[in-house]
């Protein structure tokens, strides 16, 4: 059976990178909305409706992205924690022999 090694620092760095990437993408999308928002005052009729639909789509995408990234980081964190617990339990069993 092949040896499996958990590189905890690398795994935690990857988890942090995912969180930072999510924050950066959310900030970029919010910045885009903020830059367009002053133009919103001039929208009327079909333009106003199109803007409202676009903003709703962007807001839904931001929420979905945040939810998905949060679930991903939680899953990775759990995997790392479970691996550490399994390693410690295995070590205790070996040392008890």
For residue 20, what pLDDT is reported? 93
Answer whether residue 2 shows pLDDT above 70: no
For residue 88, what pLDDT is reported? 84
The answer, as to whether pTM is greater than 0.85, is: no
Q: Is 38 helix (H, G, I), strand (E, B) or coil?
A: helix
Answer whether residue 31 shows pLDDT above 80: yes
User: pLDDT (tens digit, 9 = 90+) per residue, 32-65?
Assistant: 888 988 888 899 999 999 989 988 998 899 899 9
Instruction: Spell 50-72 as b/e; 16+ CB within 10 A means b.
Output: ebeeeeeeeeeebeeeeeebeee
């Amino acid at each position: 059976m092949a040896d499996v090694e958990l590189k905890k620092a690398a795994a935690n760095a990857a988890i942090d990178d995912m969180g930072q990437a999510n924050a950066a993408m959310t900030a970029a999308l919010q910045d885009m909305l903020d830059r367009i928002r002053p133009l919103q005052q001039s929208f009327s009729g079909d333009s106003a409706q199109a803007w409202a639909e676009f903003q709703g789509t962007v807001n839904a995408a931001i929420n979905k992205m945040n939810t998905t990234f949060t679930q991903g980081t939680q899953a990775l964190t759990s995997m790392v924690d479970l691996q550490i617990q399994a390693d410690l339990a295995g070590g205790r069993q070996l040392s008890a022999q």
